[in-house]
Chains A and B, each alone.
Chain A
Amino acid sequence: MDSKAMDIQIRDMSVELSGLHLDNPVIPASGTFGFGAEFAEFYDLDILGSFSFKGTTKEARFGNPTPRIAECRNGMINAVGLQNPGIDAVIADELPRISRIFHKPVIANISGFSVDEYAYCCERIDKQEQVGIIEVNISCPNVKHGGMSFGMVPESAYEVTRAVKAVTTKPVYMKLSPNVTDIVAIARACEEGGADGLTLINTMLGMRIDVKTRRSVIANTMGGFSGAAIFPVALRMVYQVAKACRIPIMGCGGVATARDVIEMMMAGATAVQVGAENLRNPYACKEIIETLPAEMEKLGIRSLKDIIGVA
């Protein structure tokens, strides 16, 4: 082995997330990776730090009518509407399937439409051995309160966090919506509610119109905008929240390259999620993990742990 190869080999990519050791900080984001099976046909999932599975609710959901997808410059809009088989089927069928293709703790993404539903699903998933972290998506509408999302108001974000923490033993990460006036206020509310960490950001509310039909491209009219275009917004929010909170952050939003991962960590992320990029390049996470050591070498980084929040 030449000295350069040896040098790359000693680059330490591992990070710690609330006591959970990750071989590297790269995590496919929920909703872009299903339950892993489709991507296992492209590469060995065990190279990943972890992955966050498809947002799961109490009942099975079909989701929104199609079209659910719209192309944008440097990104895309989706309005899938939390299609998932429901918590019972996820525990009975999907977790056993995951255990055959991924041999590390997985991140369980939980969604809900009431505080009780969040608590119910988190309590169930908390008992599953394969689950390393519970990630709670609070971008869903609060059905009891006019449909405004839980993540838009500090009080409801706090309430969900408290309810979930009361019934779980595993680390709980609250996944924040960027569609708010003050992301720091929401992040602090979650921290006060006892959250072990935060994931940010979810997709940004967006829209496209088909100029030929003069109607919205998406059947649901609006949807979540993601992809490379949102990276600066995500990075800014991670930076602001990291400065204001003490709990670890999984940075998410527009990450497409190893350099983006490094930049996100410098902003304050301990781990980094890759979302929409997986859908245009199914090898995105593999390529990022493979190029990280060389990028670290170029930038004089020995251990990724050293750069968390240095900016």
Chain B
Amino acid sequence: MYKRGIYKIVSNESLTDTVYKMVLEGDTQYITAPGQFVNVELPGKFLRRPISVCDYDDKSVTLIYKVVGEGTEQMAAMKPGTELDVLTGLGNGFAVEPTVSKPLLVGGGVGVPPLYNLAKTLVAAGSIPMVVLGFNTVGEVFYEKEFMALGVRTVVATADGSYGVKGFVTDAIKGEKLEYDYVYSCGPMPMLRALGGMITVPGQFSFEERMGCGFGGCMGCTCKTKNGNKRICKEGPVLRTDEIIW
């Protein structure tokens, strides 16, 4: 179930040079799982901008977004108090696997945010996840402390070695000899592909695609899976690793 609502910006501040954190106040009852997204209407823009949900509670939702074009540039300039028209509760998010004992969460760049609420949800369910976060360089690192504050082991990797483990998330997983029996991941396609090729345990990966509507109406974001065609906005963005066609 999803719903359109008016949300007020409580705060909107930068975490790095290009990544911003926006907290919105409003009805969050339609957000039902980590890994879902919202679709934000922006003044003067025809299509909404889909942004993954980093965290939410009874009355607020936290979005972390990277400035990649005109729309997100516009968002970055928005002041607290501004009201936004937002569709919430979109997409099929991460499903918590109750039989898993050692879940590993792997995020890359702006794919990190949806894993935050997932980590929180897993901790609340009595699970002890490990987290690996990958970035290009030290200046791009964000949310390490927030994950650590949940009491979960958090490993950061940077491609240039300027912070944490040098290399990609796959290097960090091997280098730190992490033991896991399930993998949840969100990040850029090359990272997901490398991770998917490395792991031998099941998991759930979240994908990104250019969308029209965000709620399954236009078929703009369809991908092929082993279980037939799936819309990234509707049956996705989270797919099970055993159905992904690389």
Contacts and interface: CB of A to CB of B under 8 A. Distances in A.
Interface of A: 31-34, 37-39, 41-42, 54, 62-63, 66-76, 78, 80, 83, 217, 227-228, 276, 278-283
Nearest to A67: B210
Interface in B32-47: 41, 45-47
Q: Which 10 A-B pairs have the closest CB atoms?
A: A279-B213, A67-B210, A69-B220, A38-B216, A69-B212, A83-B219, A68-B220, A38-B217, A80-B219, A279-B212
Given A33-B217, A66-B222, A279-B213, A41 B47 contact: no
17 contacts: A38-B234, A41-B2, A41-B215, A66-B210, A68-B210, A71-B46, A75-B46, A78-B212, A80-B222, A83-B229, A278-B213, A279-B47, A279-B218, A280-B41, A280-B46, A282-B4, A282-B215
B209 A34 contact: no
B221 A66 contact: yes
Given A38-B234, A283-B4, A71 B215 contact: no
Contacts of B2: 41-42
Given A38-B215, A282-B213, 20 more contacts: A31-B218, A34-B219, A37-B216, A39-B217, A41-B1, A41-B2, A66-B222, A67-B210, A68-B222, A69-B212, A69-B220, A70-B210, A71-B47, A78-B220, A80-B220, A83-B229, A227-B46, A278-B217, A279-B212, A281-B41
B213 A280 contact: yes
Among B4, B220, B223, the one with the most A-chain Cβ atoms within 10 Å of its Cβ is B220
B224 interface: yes
A236 to B, nearest CB: 21
Contacts of A279: 47, 212-213, 217-218
B87 interface: yes
Interface in B154-178: none
Interface in B177-213: 209-213
Given A68-B210, A78-B212, A83-B229, A63 B219 contact: yes
A56 B234 CA distance: 21
Nearest to A277: B46
B48 interface: yes
Contact of B211 (A39, A69, A72, A217): A69
A202 to B, nearest CB: 15
Contacts of A83: 219, 222, 229
Interface of B: 1-2, 4, 41, 45-48, 71, 87, 209-213, 215-224, 229, 234
A80 B218 contact: yes
Among A54, A78, A282, the one with the most B-chain Cβ atoms within 10 Å of its Cβ is A282
A199 to B, nearest CB: 19
Nearest to B220: A69
Contact of A69 (B45, B71, B210): B210
Contacts of B216: 34, 37-38
Contacts of B217: 32-34, 38-39, 278-279, 282
Contacts of A278: 213, 217
A76 B211 contact: no
B218 A32 contact: yes
A70 B224 CA distance: 20
Contacts of B45: 71
Contacts of A228: 46
Contacts of B224: 62
Among B2, B215, B218, the one with the most A-chain Cβ atoms within 10 Å of its Cβ is B218
A276 B46 CA distance: 9
B18 to A, nearest CB: 14
A217 B212 CA distance: 13
A190 B71 CA distance: 43
Nearest to A212: B69
A69 B215 contact: no
A178 to B, nearest CB: 19
Nearest to A218: B210
Contacts of B87: 282
B27 to A, nearest CB: 15
A280 B211 CA distance: 11
A63 B218 CA distance: 12
A108 to B, nearest CB: 17
Nearest to A82: B219
A67 B210 CA distance: 6
A72 B229 CA distance: 27
Nearest to A68: B220
Nearest to B85: A281
A276 to B, nearest CB: 8
A68 B221 contact: yes
Nearest to A75: B46
Contacts of A70: 210
B159 to A, nearest CB: 20
A280 B212 CA distance: 8
Contacts of A69: 47, 210-212, 218, 220-221
Nearest to A282: B215
A62 B1 contact: no
A206 to B, nearest CB: 13
Contacts of B209: 66-67
